[in-house]
Each structure stands twice: as structure tokens, then as C-alpha cells.
Amino acid sequence: MTQLALVIDLNVCVGCQACVTSCKEWNTSGSAGPMGDQNPYGADPTGTFFNRVQTFEVGEFPNTETVHFPKSCLHCEDPPCVPVCPTGASYKRKEDGIVLVNYDKCIGCKYCSWACPYGARELDEQQKVMKKCTLCVDRIYDMTMAEEDRKPSCVKACPTSARLFGDVHDPDSAVSIAIRESGGYPLMPEWGTHPANHYLPRRKTRIKIHEDELERADNPLKVDRQLPKPAMSEPTLDDVTTW
Amino acid sequence: MHPAFSVIFLTTLIGAAQGLFLALFTAQSYAAFKLLPQPDAHAFYGQGSFLALLLLVAGLAASFFHLGRPERAWRSAAMWRTSWLSREVIVLPAFMGVVFLYGLAHWFDWHPVLMTLPGGLPVDPTAMLGVAGTLLAFALFVCTAMIYACLKFLREWHSPLTVANYILLGGASGFTLAAAFASQTAPELVSFLAGWAAIITLLGLVSRGASLYRNARLKPKSTLQTAIGIKHPRIVQKTQGFMGGSFNTREFFHRQPVAVLRGVKWFFIVAGFPVPLLLLVFGMQGATGMLAAAFIVQYAGLLAERWFFFAQANHPQNLYYQCIA
């Protein structure tokens, strides 16, 4: 069974908001209708977004880290928003695990948004129906696009490759390897929703240089020379011959 | 959560209607077993059912204001296998239909004996409809309450006390209304109905008090640490990602100062329980004014109670929206 999902690497996200704008641009021009904005140039603008990038400060000054945190629908494997929908407008696709809303069936009762602990759903004030991340379902299967473009719009936009896209049920996919090998984790595991989207934690980048790595290891002649060892600054055979 | 007046009116109005119907049929059952005098069926049961129906229609009308696309409301009966909201959408009109037929049967004095119980007690259509209506009234209470109680991460709601409160508070207001209504149409039943209204109000106070006590001691399961998955004791949000508002900042927070919340709480505790209790006791001899006042004060208290019920629920998604920039 396929479960398409995003894996978001918090170690490399720089909080540039490119995924936010690219998501809005793609999805507002789609066949499902615009993502309405109200009062966009006024004092109190508001509108529908599928994806947000938030910023958190972790730790106490001066030992702080700024964590940029992209947030969209996590396409839960056990989505609490789906069974509560009275009309069946909210559903999880069997073939690829994407959680979608049928905008033609939605009555805008907002119950699904109450049932989502992550706040991933937003009521579109213009169309008066519930909207959410579609994982760019209208992109990823579009055979008229080049294969490298058949990815969610946010993934394509990310300049640091902080967003990976793939099948988390395929153990050999890039996303599964990233989750497995880089400590990928789900959000709010306490509610048993089993989010398909995972996040990769911050990692310390340290280089351990061993002393023998500072010497020319490809120079057996110098290593084998009689004691006492010559100083590091003395020329090696590499420096004086061209072989 | 942001308390929506459409839902507040829906739940309180249909709660009172369900309670009123239960009161009517309780009186009819007692009268059938000769435990109470037989009232004027035409006026008390007939008009009483139409009063209940009126409240149900008003509640249903209020609920439409909650929908973004009310013209599609008919679709919401589809997912009754999984959704309590869908179940409510089915049970509510079924209950309305039974209340209508029950009222009609009494209005036209339609009492053919359908069968006789072992004790020699005749069973007529009003008794059958009454039993069906009673079952549906309780089913509707459970459906309405479970819409909220089934959301496990809204922990203020996720408790059997939510179901108990919906039943008892709806029942209390319905019985109080029945007592006030009986003072005009069936004076011989007033003390019986007012007595039960007082008892249910008292039970409601106990169960609502228990849920207030429970909710005040809840420790949040979700924290900023689990929300973003970083295990550090000190995490502060610096920006929620946008300067303007969004659905997430409007729908999930009551946007009232703590003082308002506390004020509403004490108002519903006082207006919902002790004041109507006193008025019921004083009005037990049939003073319509007292009993009507009891219902009005209690209903106002229950509106505040429902507002507080929504406002108090703290949705975990609010963890992501704590700081604009």
C-alpha cells in the first residue's frame, strides 16, 4: 500500500516561506477553485493557506536555536478528521493515502477542523468549504508534466531541499531512508493519528579529525623511516618526486 | 474553541424540547398507571408537543447558520456509520416527526386500543409514539453530546460527564418549561413536574459541577514539545507565519479576557441551578409567573453554560498560534 507523504528536514529549513507562496500560487490557480483572500491590502488581511512556516526559538539566550517549522496537513494514516465528516466529503484515498476534501460535497460545518489536532484545515471564506493540503494531487499524477515536476509545489520550491516527497510505506524510498537514518519523527504522537508526514530533527554537524588523518597516509616511505620521526614540516617523497 | 451562537441555540433549544417531551410522556405514563390525575390531554399533551416542536424547529433553523453551505445540508445524513454529527442529523428529524405525530394523536383524541398490557392497561397510539419519542429523545441527547465527547484531544469534552450534562441540563430546562406550561393547561400536574424539574436541576448541578472540577484539573497532553517534536523545556514561538488573521486564529479561541470567562461561569452556575431551583420550589403551588421566570432564568443560564462549554475547550492546534510576529 502506498502512502505518499512529505518529510521535512528542520536541520536545513531556513524559513524563507518559498514553499508557502509556491503552494498558494499553484493551488489558487487550480481546477478546484481559488484559495480566497479577504481584505488582502487592508489593515487586517486574511486568506486560505495550505502551508505555513512558523518560527520557534529553542533554549535560553545565548544558547538558543531558531527553528523554522513548516506546517501543513500531515496526511495521517488514521486521520481523525475523516470519520467525523457527516457528508463523506472528507476522505482518505486508498491508492496513495492522500487525505482530501470533495469541495462539491462539503457543507462547511467545520467539524473536521475541530477533529484535527494540528489545525491543518482552513475554511475558505469565499467558497465556504473546508480546504487543506492536497499534496498537489493535481500535479503528481499529471503526465503532461516532466517527471521531475511531478512533485508537490512546495517541494519544487524549496531552495535548500528541506522537503522530501515520496512513499513512506516503501522501505527503499528516499523518504523512508531519511526517516530511518536521520531520526524522523511524527508530530503529537500522543493522539495515535500516525501522521504520514515526518520531520527530521536538528543535527549537530561535527567533524572529528584523527591525528593520523593529518599525516600523509599515502607515504609509506616516510612512515617507515628510521626513528626519530622527521618533523611534520619536512618534505615528503610526494613533495620531491613526480613518481 | 470559539463559541458559535448557532450551535449554542441549537443544543439548548433542542435540549429543552427533548426535556419537555420527556416531561409530557412521563406525566402521561404516571397518569396511565393512575399515579397522577388525568389532565386535559388536548391542551397539555397536544399543545405541549407543539411547543416542543416549535423549539425543535427553532433549534434546527439555528443550526443552519453554522453551515457554510446550508443548501447542501441534506448530504449530512450520509455518514451515520462513523459520524455522530450525521447520526444527530438523522435522529433530530425523526424525533421531530414523532413529536408531531404524538401531538397530533393527542390533539385529535386518537385513542384506539392497539393492545392490552398484562395488567389490563390499554395501549393506544400515543403510548407507542411516546415510547418511540422517549427513545429518540435520549438517542438525540447522546448523539449531540457525543459530537463533542468523541473528540479525544479536546479533553474538556472527552468525558462521559459531557453526555450526562447534555441529558440532565436539557432535561432540567424541559421539565421546568413543562411545569410552567402545566400551570396554565394542567394545574393538577404542576407540583409533580416542578418537583422533577428541581430534582433534575439538582442532578445537573452535581454533574456539571463534577465536569467543572475535572476540567480545572486537566493537564494538557499536548505541549509545544510534542507539537513540533523538539524535546527542550524552553520553546517560544517567534512567529506563526503570518501577520493577519486566519481560520486557525478565529475558530479555535474565544478571544475573551479571563474575567469574562470567569463571569460567564459564575453566571451559569447561579442562573442555571440555585435560582431556578428556588423559583421552582416557590412556584410549586402553581404560580405561573414564578415557573415562567424559573424557565427563563434557567434557559439564560444554560445559554451561558453552553458558551462556557465551548470557550473552555482548549484545542491543541492553539499551540501553533501563540505569537503573531
pLDDT in tens, A169-225: 999 999 999 999 999 999 999 999 999 999 999 998 888 888 777 766 665 555 555
Judge whether B128 is closer than 8 Å to chain A, CB to CB.
Answer: no
Kindly report the backbone phi and psi dihedral angles of residue A125, in degrees, each rounded to the nearest multiple of 5, phi listed first: -70, -20
The reply to whether A69 touches chain B by the CB within 8 Å rule is yes
CA distance B50 to chain A (A): 29
Residue B196 and residue B34: Cα distance in Å, rounded? Answer: 18
Which one of A67, A107, A186 has the shortest CB-CB distance to B76?
A107
Cβ under 8 Å to B: A residues 119-138: 119, 121-123, 125, 127-130
Q: With contact defined as beta carbons under 8 Å apart, do A6 and A76 qualify?
A: no
Higher-scoring residue by pLDDT: A96, A241: A96
Give A136-153 pLDDT, tens digit per residue: 999 999 999 999 999 999
The Cα B237–Cα B320 span in angstroms is 8
From B72, B154, B321, residue closest to A107, measured CB to CB = B72
Please report the sign of the dihedral spanned by the C-alpha atoms of residue A146, residue A148, residue A150, residue A156: negative
Arithmetic mean of pLDDT over chain B: 94
Q: In chain B, what residues touch A200 (CB-CB under 8 Å)? A: none
Question: Among partner residues A53, A128, A129, which is closest to B241 by beta-carbon distance?
Answer: A53
Position of cell 545565548?
Answer: A62
> Is the separation of the CB atoms in A2 and A95 below 8 Å?
yes
**Cell representation of residue B204:** 445537573
Q: How much is the pLDDT for A143?
A: 95
Number of residues in chain A = 243
The single-letter code of the amino acid at A136 is C
Model pLDDT, residue A30: 80
What's the DSSP call for residue A146? -
Mean pLDDT of A26-41: 89
Residue of chain B whose alpha carbon sits nearest to that of A58 = B235
Cα-based torsion angle of the residue sequence A136, A139, A141, A142 in order, rounded to the nearest 10 degrees: 160
* pLDDT > 90 in chain B, percent: 87
Asked if B69 reaches chain A (Cβ–Cβ under 8 Å), the answer is yes
Query: What 3-state DSSP class applies to B256?
Result: coil
Q: What is the DSSP-derived secondary structure letter of residue A224?
A: T
A166-181 pLDDT, tens digit per residue, is 999 999 999 999 999 9
Give, as one character, the DSSP assignment of residue B46.
I
As a 3-state breakdown, chain B gives helix, strand, coil percent values, each rounded to 5, of: 70, 5, 25
**CB atoms A119 and B67 under 8 Å:** no
CA distance B200 to chain A (A): 30
Please answer yes or no on whether A109 and B85 come within 8 Å at the CB atom.
Answer: yes
Say yes or no: B84 contacts chain A, CB-CB below 8 A. yes
A203 touches chain B (CB under 8 A): no
Examine the pLDDT at B27 and tell me if it is beyond 90.
Answer: yes
